[in-house]
Structure 1
Amino acid sequence: MDALSVKNLAVTYDKQPVLENVSFSVPEGSLTGIIGPNGAGKSTLIKSILQLLPTLSGNVEVFNQPYKNQKKLIGYVPQRSEVDWEFPTNALDVVLMGRYSHIGWFKQASKKEVEWAKTCLDKVGMAAFAKRQISQLSGGQQQRVFLARALAQDAKVYFMDEPFSGVDAATENAIIKLMKQWKAEGKTVLVVHHDLQTVEDYFDHVLLLNKTPIEYGETQVVFTLNNLEKAYGGKIAFLQKGTASSQGVK
């Protein structure tokens, strides 16, 4: 079964096309990297799927049902730059926000829910920082808190927007471990990603995007020099490893 199906999605900004004719289907239990140059619409794609941005046209289904009926199955890790880290709350409360769709926005979290949130923090190495204000955390620690929130959601389909950007090696390893754990559990993960040299190691499927899909499918089939040159306008340096480097890509 396809976990996600996107058909004829189009998005405009200030009357200018940002995404056009976007159609693809993601199989359940896969790790998909969304790859493309700056301005390709990668983050816009995720936000429009999640109904965080208005669309001009298109249809999104999750497990063969309209997205609006399946929101409880979705987990989302936004870019750190889009989060108000000065908001007066601590790490544990941020993680508990991931449970609101289960417990209700205006209900107090039960002891069981709080313990689950603490367990999620522990899984990403942040148990000791549960009561720490998020503004006092480092960038890598902040990202781990949002990973814990995603874990707390216990979703079936996860969207992650450049989760590796600006994090330390330990946090990057924690993210990779979590992605592989989700895949092993049969969950589906879509990740906006910019480091071409790690694509083959991280993802089993790739969506090459530049305002419209260039190619989508299994990584070993799609992630080729020819397709990358189509997506990036020919500014790709070939690697001995067999794919490409983003060096020089603007």
Structure 2
Amino acid sequence: MLALSVHNLSVQYQQQKVLENVHFQVPKGSITGIIGPNGAGKSTLMKAILGLVPITEGKVDVLEQPFTQQKDLIGYVPQRSEVDWDFPINALDVVLMGRYKHFKRFRPISKQEKDLAMSFLKEIGMEAYANRQISQLSGGQQQRVFLARALAQNTPIYFMDEPFAGVDAATEKMMIQLMKQWKNDGKTVIIVHHDLQTVQEYFDHVLLLNKKTICCGKTRDVFHPQNIERTYGGSLTFPPSIAGNSL
């Protein structure tokens, strides 16, 4: 079963096409990386799929149904730069935001929900910071809190925009281990990513993008120097793990 199908998606800003006829599929129970140079439209693509920016043409299916019918099945972790870190909210409240669809209207948040949110913070090693205002956390700690919010959403599909940016090595390792556990549980994770050296380790599928689809498929089949050069243009220096993967 396909977790995501994108059909000929285009996005246009002020008469200029930012994305053109992007098409790709993501199988259920996979970790897929969206890879491309700066300005390739990676974040715009993710936002367009999620309905956060208007699509000029094309369509999106989630679990083989139109996105509009399935949007509640998607969890989203935005780029850190898009979050107002000065907003007066603590770590526990951020995680509780992931549970809002389970709350009863006009009722106080139950102790059960607060305990559940605390359990997610504990899972990612942040329970001691539950009452800490998010602006007082380090970049890695902030990203862990948003990962806990994603856990609280408990959706079958997760979109993450540059989740490893600005985090320490220990946090990145913890995050990818958790995502691989999600995959083992049948969930699907789709990540905008920029570090070519970790692509083969982190992702079983990749979309190589530069305003249009360059190629998409299993990492072992499509992530090789020829396709990477087509995506980035010019001549690149590849680490040995990639250079040895040429066709």
Give the TM-score normalised by structure 1.
Answer: 0.94
Alignment partner, residue 219 of structure 1: 219
The answer as to whether partners of 1:72 and 1:101 remain within 8 angstroms in 2 is: no
Residue deviations 1:124-149 (CA, integer Å, cap 9, x gap) = 11000001111111111100000000
Partner of 1:203: 203
**Structure 1, residues 54-85: CA drift from partner, whole Å, max 9, x if none?**
11011111111111211221011111010000
Q: Which residue of 2 aligns with 1:114?
A: 114
Distance in 1 between residues matched to 2:176 and 2:159, nearest whole Å: 14
For structure 2, the residue ranges without an aligned partner over 5 or more in a row are: none
Q: Name 1:160's counterpart in structure 2.
A: 160
Cα deviation for residue 109 of structure 1 reads 2.3
How many residue pairs get matched? 244
| Equivalent position of 2:85 in the other structure | 85
**1:167-178 → structure 2 map (5 Å cutoff):** 167-178=167-178
3-state SS, counterpart of residue 179 of structure 1: helix
1:105 deviates by: 6.7
Larger deviation: 102-111 or 21-30? 102-111
Q: Helix, strand or coil for the counterpart of 2:46? A: helix
Deviation track 1:80-102 (CA, whole Å, cap 9, x = no partner) reads 01000000000000000011122
Alpha carbon RMSD of aligned pairs, Å? 1.3
Structure 1 CA distance for aligned equivalents of residues 5 and 138 of structure 2 = 36
Alpha-carbon distance in structure 2 between the residues aligned to 1:156 and 1:18: 29
In structure 2, distance between residues paired with 1:62 and 1:102: 22
- Give the structure-2-normalised TM-score: 0.96
Query: Is the deviation greater in 120-129 or in 231-240?
Result: 231-240
CA distance in 2 between partners of 1:236 and 1:198 (Å): 16
Partner Cα separation in structure 2 for residue 101 and residue 243 of structure 1: 47
State whether residues 206 and 217 of structure 1, in contact with CA within 8 Å, keep that contact through their aligned partners in structure 2.
yes
Give me the identity figure in percent: 65
Q: What's 1:247 paired with?
A: none
Equivalent residue for 2:48?
Answer: 48
In structure 1, the residue matched to 2:231 is: 231
Deviation, 1:179, is 0.8
Give the 3-state SS of the residue equivalent to 2:20 in structure 1: strand
Q: Distance in 1 between matches of 2:149 and 2:235?
A: 37
Deviation at 1:107, TM superposition (A): 4.3
Partners of 1:183 and 1:164 in 2: CA distance: 18
